[in-house]
Structure 1
Amino acid sequence: MVANTERPRPTTIMHFTHIDNLPRVVKAGRLFSDTSVGPQLATNVGAAEIKARRRHRPVPCPPYGFVADYVPFYFAPRSPMMYRIACDHRDGKLGCYPGGDDPLVYLVSSAEQVHAARLSWVASDGNCAVGLTTFTTVLGELATLVDWPLMRARFWRDGDEDMDRMRRRAAEFLVHREFPLSLLAGYVVRTMDRQEQVRQVFRDAGMIEPYVDVRPDWYYGYKRGEV
């Protein structure tokens, strides 16, 4: 564990999905775990091999099950997963989701909101697909479980003095089975065009437009072939 008590309050958590998925998410009124999402995903941005590992990685504390039985949230933007998505797009990597991070939408809430709603949740100190990662179900333990200075850092690559930064930057807050959109504080996108797209999804659904912030610094935004 990391000896640091500077946990931000509220403790922001964020899940991202492709904007193509948003109409179905809004219609359902909730996010679903990977094992129960079914046809909700119009565009899947996850790597197949990583998803497979998460389906077999047990969660060692209540309510147990496997990592894929939970809706995943990160504690920081510009995650290692988003970096892989951005790089696959930049490099034109075959066999991967090709669209990059620009169409991805963050759904933002807080650990306190989830806890107050009495949803079952589990937090990790790093990438849940990695065997040495540890877990907790105690909100107060997030202060020492998560590396908060690393969550605030713009750069998180492993270095000679610390070969575990990438794993720790991928610390997660997992909500069991499903997450209701009523617990969201808002949405974050990369551009004003994407902001309008998200608002239009809600207008098309006959719903009140949510708070949608534009934060390009939450993205990598690599273009195809960019060095």
Structure 2
Amino acid sequence: MPIGDTSVIASRDDRVIYKNYKIGDCIPFYFGPRSPMLYVIQHGYNNVVMYKAEEIVYVVIRLDDIVTHNINCVFTDGHALDLLTTTYTSDKLSMIDDIVSYKDVYATSWANNEDDRDLKRRKEAELLLLDELPPQYIKGFVVYNKEAKQQLLDYKIDEARIAIRQSYYF
């Protein structure tokens, strides 16, 4: 189900990211929690339907798996729609620590300020899978609370694969 700003979703459906792939064709993953998009979704601003934290689930994958199993992907050093952002092919994933700043993607305060006018863009660096993700590469799920965890348990997801992390939400 598409969630988020409908104008951003439409822009992603139009923007080519790599070869014939449009951003909207890809399965997007942020590298860290508490994205600006999540903030908007949890608060329901502009063209965005509001969802409670309990209704949002993080899907966790391992970059090692993406590299080892040669999953077709690209990644960015910032928000994929931003013109300042560079897109990298999967052969550059081994250099990701030199390209994407984990300090930025894990920042809890990301408002641009006079000291750093580009933090929000960098916080939204993305891994974009170009094809379907085989389910064996989903390593776990992060949820907001016990009630959300119970919903996943009701879907027969192994409890060991579910973590409650309220700090990942707003």
Q: Say whether the fold is shared (TM-score over 0.5).
A: yes
Task: Give the Cα separation in 1 of the matches to 2:47 and 2:137.
Answer: 35
- How big is the alpha-carbon RMSD for the aligned residues of Structure 1 and Structure 2? 1.8
2:39 alignment counterpart? 83
* Contact 2:31/2:127, CA 8 A, preserved across alignment: yes
Q: Structure 2 regions of 5+ residues with no counterpart? A: none
Aligned to 1:72, what secondary structure does the other structure show? strand
**How many Å apart are 1:45 and its aligned residue?**
1.7
Question: 2:125 aligned to 168, 171, 181, which one?
Answer: 171
Spell out, residue by residue over 1:119-147, the C-alpha distance to the aligned partner (whole angstroms, 9 max, x if none).
Answer: 10101001111122101121123122212
Count of aligned positions: 168
* Contact 2:145/2:164, CA 8 A, preserved across alignment: yes
Q: How does 1:157-196 map to 2 (within 5 A)?
A: 157-196=111-150
Residue identity opposite 2:66 in structure 1: V
Structure in which a larger fraction of residues adopt helix: 2
* Contact 2:146/2:164, CA 8 A, preserved across alignment: yes
**How many Å apart are 1:47 and its aligned residue?**
1.7
Q: Structure 1 regions of 5+ residues with no counterpart? A: 1-40, 221-227
* Contact 2:153/2:159, CA 8 A, preserved across alignment: yes
1:125 alignment counterpart? 77
Task: Give the Cα separation in 1 of the matches to 2:125 and 2:14.
Answer: 18
Aligned to 1:59, what secondary structure does the other structure show? strand
Structure 1 position 53 matched with structure 2 position 11:
yes
Structure 1 position 67 matched with structure 2 position 36:
no
Query: Could you tell me the percent identity over the aligned residues?
Result: 27
**How many Å apart are 1:157 and its aligned residue?**
1.2
Structure 1 position 212 matched with structure 2 position 162:
yes
Task: Give the Cα separation in 1 of the matches to 2:159 and 2:145.
Answer: 17
Larger radius of gyration: 1
**How many Å apart are 1:111 and its aligned residue?**
1.3
* Contact 1:125/1:171, CA 8 A, preserved across alignment: yes
Of residues 72-81 and 171-180 in structure 1, the stretch that sits farther from structure 2 once superposed is 171-180
1:31 alignment counterpart? none
Q: Which runs of 4+ in 1 moved over 2 A?
A: 93-96, 98-102
